[in-house]
Structure 1
Amino acid sequence: MFAESPTCATLPPVPAPPLAAPSAAVRAERGGRGWLGVAALVYLAISLLLQHRALGDFAGSAIGRTSTDATGFTWWLAHTAHALTTGTNPLVTDLQHYPVGVNALWNTAVPLLGVLLAPVTLTAGATAAFNGGMVLGPVVSGVAAAAALGGIVRSRVARATAGALYAFSPFMVAHLQAGHLNLVWAVLPPVLLALAHRLFVRDLRRPWLLGALTGLALAAQTWLYTQTLAIGVLMLVVLAMVLAVRYPGRAADRLPALVEAGVSCLGVFAVLAGYAVYLLLAGPARPRAPLRSPEYGSADLANTIAPTWLTAIRAVPAPIGMQGNLGEQGGYLGVAVLLLLLLTVLTCGTAAGIAAAVGAVAWVLELGPQLFVAGEPTGVPLPWRALVKVPLLGEVEPVRLQVVVTLAVAVLAGLALDRVPRPVALVAVVAAMSWIPADAQRTTSAAVPAHPQLAGQVVETWPRITGDWYGGADPLRAQIASGFGYRLSGGYFLGADADHPLLLQSPWNRYQAGAALAQEWPTLAAPPDPAGAARDLREVGVTVVLVTPRPGEDPTPVLDWTRRVTGSEGVPLEGAWAFPLAATLHG
């Protein structure tokens, strides 16, 4: 994005002079990457400290304050490893939502991480793999940010500090507590920063190679999480526009090389991610309606200066009400950071100005199509409104552009620390301290019984599988524990079927409606139409109903209803009852 100079990064003049041989001091500064290893170890120590509650039960407790998203990611990690060992398709599966199935690219399947973590999944279990990914995500993201600043910030200490700010920012900490494995691997933004710096600013000698590397980065992100891909491409365009406005002559001179890089990028991306794009645009079981209201996932203006209790140092004793759930309230900057940004822009020249401009655009876009303040809509229209109709990009939750704002802050902090000794560096230190995470990370239990007796069956579960934050997707964990020996008629996913253009979980049927009635009002008359409920189950191929009594609830009414529907007395399993419907239990 920017070039370096002895004091503050500035863009080279136009035309760029021939590259001079670096001095011995500069060679020593650039030489070697051992400092990145040291930074990685420090980041790892911080990440382990944040997640210390998981370390004593790494395979039995999942990182995150809520269980359902963690369960979803764990299921996909386990499914990818299962598919690799059985030779089945890891990207389209009917192991849940049978017989329609689910499309991995429309869900948080993180297939790239599924492959990378498969050795852990197959040896220590999917929960251990998920926890390992949650610990390592901020570490790898921080190292990527520190490395990306090599052409912008000279000081290794400044770069390492900027990487730590990015790795353990309010954005990252919020998604850590929400169990969002896909978002704590925020590697693409700093990688695109490094590539953009070479494409747009530095001596462009082999544009085809840089284009190919960019295509590789975008393809890898496609196999990780598509929302971050869309955000990365959007902000790459924003950066190019900012530089073109600032340096129109240089933009014209570089246009042929950039076209060459673009063709190379598209070619590599098409080869490596073409199938993923097909699954997104035309694949089976994909949603056929908008996923959410355009205003869902908008950031709250108040979050810019008001932290949540995930931040250690707070100006108020308790967080105020804000738009979105806690996992999406990671946009805190704070007064100290805002002062740092102002001082850096005023004292650090072109590089700081460009970083601030890109960060400011991302900040405005993250606020969504209308302004929210302290959880209340104001009706004030905002620029994101113009993007909600753009294919794929319109499905992005704008609040997640906070990752770009965070990276811009890290760049500016690195520039400030690079200018020592001076008061700006002191403000940078204070700003960094204001982002120190609180000891607030939690875990949820991942322990569930296995049911190998259900091998080969299609299973309906009660309680039904839902997106409820606490325990809603637990039947998916039981399926993992059973080695994917059976299919589930229910599921927690984004998808569709013939009757529903959008599903966030499997639709209700008459068996589930009767079970809910029996559970909530056990003193009323028995639920009606058990024969109709049985027909609903048989129509989707269900062969067994699995009832798992909830702690503290009397299971008798639901068990009686299930007996009426299935015509079976049921078979007791560990912590559950199985009722054959159209096939006998195995084993």
Structure 2
Amino acid sequence: MREILAETGQLPPTATTTERSAPGATAVAPEAPPPSRRLARFAPQPADVAAITCFVALAVFVLYRQWRNLGTGYLLRSGQDQNMWEWFFSVAAHSLVNLQNPLGSDLQNHPLGVNLMGNTAMFGFSIPFAPVTLLFGPTVTFALALTVGLAGTAIAWYWVLSRHVVSSRFAAAAGGLVCGFAPAMISHANGHPNFVALFLLPFIALGVVRLGSSERQVRDGIVLGLLIAYQIFLGEEPLLIYALTFCVFGLVYAMSRPKVAVAAVRRGIPGFAVAGAVALAIAAFPLWWQFFGPNAYSALEHGPVGNDVQAITSFPTESLAGAPADMSSLRMNATEENAFFGWPLLLLIAVSGLWLWRMPLARAATATAVAMGVLSLGSELTVSGTGTGITLPWALLADQPLFESVLESRFAMGVIPAAALLLALGTDRALASSRSGQSPLARDGQRSTAFLWFAWLAIALIPLAPTPLEVVPRAQAPAFFDDGIWRDYVDDGSVVAVPLSSPQNARLLHWQAEQDFGFPIAGGYFVGPAGPDDLGKYGPEDRPTALFLREVEKTGTIPAVDEATRAQARADLEFWNADVLVLAKTRNDRMLQEAVNQLVGVQGERVGGTWVWDVRAVV
């Protein structure tokens, strides 16, 4: 921490001239600030209140349509993710009330179940907010997680920047704004709260830096260990991405002051050991469950999903400058606009890096932004949808443990704190230069520099200003579920949707949660093992009958049904321990109805707005 304070000119009055000199100079450790100074660091100022209020207001603005339609609204671009996440929040609350293990559940993918620790169930939010889920429903918890995530991340970075990096609260607010409301954050706010609630990460980074100069290694190590453990329960993948980001930053920064860096690492070894022990003591069993427990999977294969270079320079969909044109060729889906920084911001980052190059912090931030941006491009450089054949560094990491399950495009999120640091440092310098100068000519030049900085800052950030996320009416449960008619058809078996519940159609998860998990369902939306190598797969392992019904839904035609097909259907129903098959309104539902009639040898009946096949006698 003292090195950073010396770097940015925030040393207490006891600092010497040497400490503020050339970037390569070795700083002299300042005296510890008095208690009054330490307390003042945590006391909120009017600027703090203004910044926090603005961040909260902006987060509510982004999600106000969801807040206004909690009972009937569904985020348009979330795909089926909102159904999945609300189920995660609901099942965590259900597990607590019924004193069940929250790490796993057989309420979907019946009878095999789901390893919830391996499914980003976000226990760090779902368990503390279980009372909210039980009282107001999972949609409130979902909207709250996204709102708290956006605002909390911005506030956390603002707090760290304003207390430890820059002297200007406005400069810190600019950095916090970028961290909390960057295009990737808004994109993930459509359905990925684990990639929005990143408010612990700046404090983890701060804790690591602090150990390098701490006189209280045990205390600070315990605090860091608690933060890391909590982040594991908020989101492991963001922790991995940002850990790599901080490592790159730290290594580049250490190259500017190697002796100081080595001394800091040696000094912090006891604290790091304590932090690791604390984090491991808390998270060891859940992590064991994730990697070795029931329904664990070895790795999640997703194919190449690196960013297109054009995506990095383009504007995001949900922004003032967002183009209405189809952006599907530049992203995996609407929740994965992980780059989309826009060319003005990229240009400002590049100029900032050059302007502030003498500062080790700026050099480290610039190198980090470049490194994480290149990693996010994947194994092959792609420009405007065309592969160039140029192999990139991600090829070295793609098959390594842990990294093999990460979507490489998400490493662009590591650019965000680096960019925010550069903008905060640049804004801080521009403000300082506008108030200094020995002569009128010098003052005019510095004010011109400040004017140019703030003009381009506006040009870079205003087009990226987020717009409210779009909401559409939610598909309401048919009366078969809503009125509890299902109770006449379910004993101790499962409900099988036609076609089977999957990542493409997970609405039954919502209807199940509304009925207080009174019945388990076959299939669902989750990540689980599939195949002989137990590789991760979205949704259940495909069974022949599930594939048959999906083909009918897709094509509107029924393949030939013979005795072998019927026997396979009976075997699959026995595997699912099915009590009833239910067909709600969907594409090609008439053909699906006839297909099920032929498969099970039982004519469906129209009940509660659905077609129902009672297969308890068949199974």
Q: Is the 8 A contact 2:65 2:468 kept in 1?
A: no
User: How far did residue 243 of structure 1 move?
Assistant: 2.7
Instruction: Note the residue ranges of structure 2 that are not aligned, 5 or more in a row.
Output: 11-19, 435-449
Change (3 A) 1:24 1:120: closer
Letter in 2 for 1:277: L
Farther-moved stretch of structure 1 (261-270 vs 370-379): 370-379
Q: Is the 8 A contact 1:310 1:438 kept in 2?
A: yes
2: CA distance, partners of 1:534 / 1:484: 25
2: CA distance, partners of 1:314 / 1:122: 38
Q: Is the 8 A contact 1:305 1:334 kept in 2?
A: yes
1: CA distance, partners of 2:219 / 2:54: 33
Q: Secondary structure at the match of 2:276?
A: helix
Change (3 A) 1:563 1:326: closer
1: CA distance, partners of 2:180 / 2:246: 21
2: CA distance, partners of 1:441 / 1:316: 13
Change (3 A) 1:558 1:301: closer
Change (3 A) 1:148 1:21: closer
Alignment of 1:155 with 2:168, yes or no, is: yes
How does 1:8-407 map onto structure 2 within 5 Å? 14=26, 16-19=28-31, 21=33, 31-32=43-44, 35-149=47-161, 150-177=163-190, 179-200=191-212, 203-293=213-303, 295-296=304-305, 298-313=306-321, 321-348=329-356, 349-407=359-417
Which residue does the alignment assign to 1:512? 546
Q: Is the 8 A contact 1:544 1:581 kept in 2?
A: yes
Which residue does the alignment assign to 2:471? 442
Q: Secondary structure at the match of 1:65?
A: helix
Q: Secondary structure at the match of 2:526?
A: strand
Letter in 1 for 2:154: G
Q: Secondary structure at the match of 1:4?
A: helix
Alignment of 1:580 with 2:614, yes or no, is: yes
Farther-moved stretch of structure 1 (523-532 vs 257-266): 523-532
User: How far did residue 85 of structure 1 move?
Assistant: 0.6
Letter in 2 for 1:207: Q
Farther-moved stretch of structure 1 (520-529 vs 273-282): 520-529
Q: Secondary structure at the match of 1:249?
A: helix
Q: Secondary structure at the match of 1:328?
A: coil
Letter in 2 for 1:562: V
Q: TM-score, normalised by structure 1?
A: 0.89
Computed over aligned residues only, the root mean square deviation of the Cα atoms, in angstroms, reads: 3.1
Change (3 A) 1:431 1:24: farther
1: CA distance, partners of 2:41 / 2:127: 36
Q: Secondary structure at the match of 1:378?
A: strand
The alignment covers a number of residue pairs equal to: 575
2: CA distance, partners of 1:135 / 1:36: 19
Which residue does the alignment assign to 1:3? 4
User: How far did residue 548 of structure 1 move?
Assistant: 1.6
Instruction: Note the residue ranges of structure 1 that are not aligned, 5 or more in a row.
Output: none
Letter in 2 for 1:448: A
- Write the deviation string for residues 336-394 of structure 1: whole angstroms up to 9, x where unpaired: 32333234334442322222222222222222222121222222111122112321122
Q: Secondary structure at the match of 1:434?
A: helix
Q: Is the 8 A contact 1:223 1:276 kept in 2?
A: no
1: CA distance, partners of 2:491 / 2:75: 29
User: How far did residue 251 of structure 1 move?
Assistant: 2.1
User: How far did residue 68 of structure 1 move?
Assistant: 0.5
- Runs of 4+ aligned structure 1 residues displaced above 6 Å come to 9-12, 22-30, 315-318
Q: Is the 8 A contact 2:8 2:165 kept in 1?
A: no
1: CA distance, partners of 2:142 / 2:174: 27
Q: Aligned match of 2:524 in 480, 488, 491?
A: 491
Change (3 A) 1:376 1:542: same
- Write the deviation string for residues 209-245 of structure 1: whole angstroms up to 9, x where unpaired: 3332222222112112221121132223223322322
Q: Secondary structure at the match of 2:368?
A: helix
1: CA distance, partners of 2:373 / 2:400: 19
Alignment of 1:461 with 2:497, yes or no, is: yes
Q: Secondary structure at the match of 1:361?
A: helix
User: How far did residue 157 of structure 1 move?
Assistant: 2.0
1: CA distance, partners of 2:550 / 2:322: 43
Letter in 1 for 2:512: Q
Letter in 1 for 2:62: L
Q: Secondary structure at the match of 1:546?
A: strand
1: CA distance, partners of 2:593 / 2:354: 70
Q: Is the 8 A contact 1:189 1:407 kept in 2?
A: no
1: CA distance, partners of 2:559 / 2:288: 51
Which residue does the alignment assign to 1:533? 569
Farther-moved stretch of structure 1 (453-462 vs 113-122): 453-462
Q: TM-score, normalised by structure 2?
A: 0.84
Change (3 A) 1:536 1:52: same
Farther-moved stretch of structure 1 (432-441 vs 119-128): 432-441
Change (3 A) 1:479 1:425: same
Q: Is the 8 A contact 2:375 2:412 kept in 1?
A: no
1: CA distance, partners of 2:406 / 2:296: 16
1: CA distance, partners of 2:279 / 2:39: 34
Which residue does the alignment assign to 2:445? none
Q: Secondary structure at the match of 2:189?
A: helix
Q: Secondary structure at the match of 1:279?
A: helix
Q: Is the 8 A contact 1:77 1:121 kept in 2?
A: yes
